[in-house]
Structure 1
Amino acid sequence: MDRKGKGPIDFADARQGSLENSVSKTCETKSPASSAKGPSRFALNRRHFLAAGAATLATPYLSKIARAQGSDVNVGVVVPLSGANAQFGVNSRNGIQLAADQINDNGGIKALGGAKINLIIADSTSTPTNAATVGQRLIAQQNVVAILGAYASSLSLALSEATERRDVPLLTMSFSDMITGRGFKNVFQVISKATTMGAAQLQGPAGVAEKAGKPLKSIAIMYEDTAFGTSQAGGLRETAAELGIEVVMDEAYPLGITDVTPLINQLRGTNADAVFPCSYLNDGVQIIRTMRQQGIDMPVIGGAGGYVIPDFRAALGEYAENVFSVAPSNYDLAPELTDPFKERFGYFMVHEAIEHAVCLDVLAKALEISGDTDSDALREALRNNRFEGGWAGIIPGGGVDFDETGLNTLAKPIIVQWRGEDLTTVWPDDVATKDAVWAGK
């Protein structure tokens, strides 16, 4: 194995002991899991690497002078590596690891004397309380300059409470409007907020349907009752009113629903022109499979989450064909950046992997600008600069520019569609890689 960089420190379960019990060197040797391909690529790798020595970690007493001389820069990563959202956490971790290795292979943070990015990864599980707990531990015990995470909005909201109290920047790709809507000064959201995503989820397909001569007159909305689902459904609802489209079903359901039959029966009775579900993988798969098995063939426009990962196509087969989804980004927009991910991990670079790579890229650029790991200096660099090129440039809209709330003002959602094994960008026209297929009535 080519050993160019260190693999991540993987604190795979914050519920089991202290963080120090699963420490390893980082950014010098690639994790064996990072090269895994084939059917097991989405399986959670719970392997822990034993510590080779305390000298690899920066302590809370490490001086800025040492940093300037090229010491590692500890970056916390809090993602769900177990529980219902584990596959998304693994995808996110892989994207961050790819970006970290690229930064380190290119000389590290030059403004800090070539300091290497040292990833310290913690499992939030899929529980908000654990996300906050492991975030607090990373800050208290590992001297992290910033934290990236935690994929699901409910996890990121809890994590942001911890980072705000400790005055540590949090870079996230979570959707919820509440992420940047609470007046926090240390949170930075690199993609559009959920209501904007929900608006695009309807605006794009409405235009596609109009172009196909089958304008949308009525729609059905179903959404999980989490921060992600409720915020995005709000955007759908408001946009339907603006476009004069009737909402004939507007139904919330609990995350992890075990029987979607009542939802699908209700949907059948609406005779809607299209359905807009906002859900993660397992719920989304149940919804589509039950619809298609019952002969309901209306167009489906998912709300990202579980609709835009290879597992969705693998689970549904032909039922996934032509399913649309809104997305913050897609791998086909910049294959020169995303192809190395597929070569390394064996599947296309899903949006959460892309956007977490963006988070690290923006952080690295901010460190180059500030030349300092001090929280105030880093926060000012993040807030007062526009980040373009590299991973930051893959975000539709051209880059990252945070407003006073920490929201990226440049981000623009896109619409993607399943075509065989490929997830292709079909809207808006200026970035589409293929024409959309509208099979509605």
Structure 2
Amino acid sequence: MSSSGNDTASGRINRRQALAFAAVGGIAMPFVLRDAVAQGKAVNVGVVMPLSGANAQFGINSRNGVELVADEINAAGGIKALGGARINLVIADSTSTPTTAANVAQRLLTQNDVVAILGAFASSLTIAISEVTERRGVPLLTMSFSDQITGRGFENIFQVVAKASVLGKAQFDGTMALAATAGQKLERIAIMYEDTAYGTSQAAGLREGAKAAGVQIVMDDAYPLGITDVTPLINKLRASGAQAVFPVSYLNDSLQIIRAMRQQKIGIPAIGGAAGYVIPDFEKGLGEFAEGVLSIAPANYDLAPELTERFRKRYGYFMVHEALEHAVCMDVLAQAIETAKSTAPEALRKVLHGTRFEAGWTKTMTGGAVQFDKTGLNTLSVPVMVQWRSKELVTVWPSDVAKAKAVWAS
């Protein structure tokens, strides 16, 4: 049974978990060991997520996805190759600070005997953690986007989603395709992005797409994460003559940008860069302003409802992409342990690099499977375009997986 079984639908940390935090003490918010195995062996898996700070909801969503799959594995008999050993999640709050993320990862590895780490949503946090896991030779599985994650020659990092530059190019290419279907030719676009590893990598992909298509970028502005006043950005957007805008941002920034656009009657299509544009809090925060907003995403829950509806039933909201992809990370790790018949890091690394994973939750990915190349990048992940329609995210591109036709703002 999950130790978050009494959590609210939004996935907040319950009183029992809070007491566990207080009892352990330590760096930032310390660690939660979920219900330990009463009998037999346990396989400790580290889960490092931003459970407080600016990106807390993303971390909570991600944790929920991991917990769902871990509980399903345990309910089905645990890791059979290890005599039914159960998955025991050791959960740590990275906060939203890279230094803290690295510190808690180090502590998990030295004090909790974890066989691998999953996390940490934000690319800047994952990059910091990967420095620790690489030195220790322990696998790190993530759905963070940045190109840097698998671009440094590390042997122990595994990225289940397409990298940010690929997502950025797909964000542009998908938009061009949807505009063409609606009978509009895009000639001028605007890009605005937060200046972390995620935003800068994805903006590079947007520029690449625009250059290849001969489309003019009339605005290309970075801004600091957690911006408090988007008025200068929106004023520049209004004056730019852009026919569409591509904002790449986390939740608080995305709410400010779209709200300011709509309040100022700027009705051009907004195509988000995933992150803050594809979670329920976006729609809750914007209401009618969210309707029709497009976004790129590495995956979407409506592509595999037979699996993802289990998340909605348990937590009370649709399975956001970071929950889905961290669920895949958990399932792939479990499959790797089954195949290796071992939790030794070198054995897991060999299996992760050399196996095509096709069972279980890997079917929720757009490629229907997961296969890592020598850098640790999943080569089968294909981005999709989604659109807010009546408080749900609907896949609208590419056409072979679309669940509805996109509504294009004129």
Identify which of 92, 110, 113 aligns with 2:80: 110
Identify which of 134, 150, 164 aligns with 1:194: 164
Q: Work out the CA distance in 2 between the residues paired with 1:97 and 1:132.
A: 22
1:45 to partner: Cα distance? 4.7
Identify which of 141, 147, 156 aligns with 2:117: 147
1:43 to partner: Cα distance? 4.8
Unpaired segments ≥5 residues, structure 2:
25-32
Identify which of 74, 79, 84 aligns with 2:44: 74
The alignment status of 1:242 with 2:216, answered yes or no, reads: no
Q: Decide whether the 8 Å contact of 1:44 with 1:86 is kept in 2.
A: no
The alignment status of 1:324 with 2:294, answered yes or no, reads: yes
Greater Cα offset, 176-185 or 333-342:
333-342
Aligned pairs for 1:141-290 within 5 A: 141-290=111-260
Q: TM-score if structure 2 supplies the norm length?
A: 0.94
Q: Decide whether the 8 Å contact of 1:44 with 1:87 is kept in 2.
A: no
In the alignment, what sits opposite 1:64?
Answer: none
1:389 to partner: Cα distance? 2.5
In the alignment, what sits opposite 2:405?
Answer: 435
In the alignment, what sits opposite 2:360?
Answer: 390
Q: Decide whether the 8 Å contact of 2:304 with 2:363 is kept in 1.
A: no
Identify which of 85, 97, 103 aligns with 2:67: 97
Deviation per CA, 1:130-178: give whole Å up to 9, x if none. Answer: 0000000000001000000000000000000010111110000000000
Q: Decide whether the 8 Å contact of 1:417 with 1:424 is kept in 2.
A: yes
The alignment status of 1:128 with 2:98, answered yes or no, reads: yes
Identify which of 368, 378, 402 aligns with 1:408: 378
| Paired residue type of 1:83 | G
Q: Decide whether the 8 Å contact of 1:57 with 1:142 is kept in 2.
A: no
In the alignment, what sits opposite 1:362?
Answer: 332
Deviation per CA, 1:93-126: give whole Å up to 9, x if none. Answer: 0000000011111111111111100000000000
| Paired residue type of 1:135 | A
Aligned length: 397
| Paired residue type of 1:86 | A
Q: Work out the CA distance in 1 between the residues paired with 2:303 and 2:220.
A: 33
| Paired residue type of 1:346 | G
Q: Work out the CA distance in 2 between the residues paired with 1:132 and 1:174.
A: 15
Q: Cα 1:201–1:104, aligned 2, differ >3 Å: closer, same or farther? A: same
Q: Work out the CA distance in 2 between the residues paired with 1:422 and 1:42.
A: 19
Q: Decide whether the 8 Å contact of 1:77 with 1:149 is kept in 2.
A: yes
In the alignment, what sits opposite 1:314?
Answer: 284
Unpaired segments ≥5 residues, structure 1:
8-29, 59-68
| Paired residue type of 1:164 | E
SS in 1 for 2:69: helix
In the alignment, what sits opposite 1:296?
Answer: 266
RMSD: 1.6
| Paired residue type of 2:354 | N
Q: Decide whether the 8 Å contact of 1:304 with 1:327 is kept in 2.
A: yes
In the alignment, what sits opposite 2:6?
Answer: 32
In the alignment, what sits opposite 1:65?
Answer: none
The alignment status of 1:343 with 2:317, answered yes or no, reads: no
Q: Give me the identity figure in percent.
A: 64
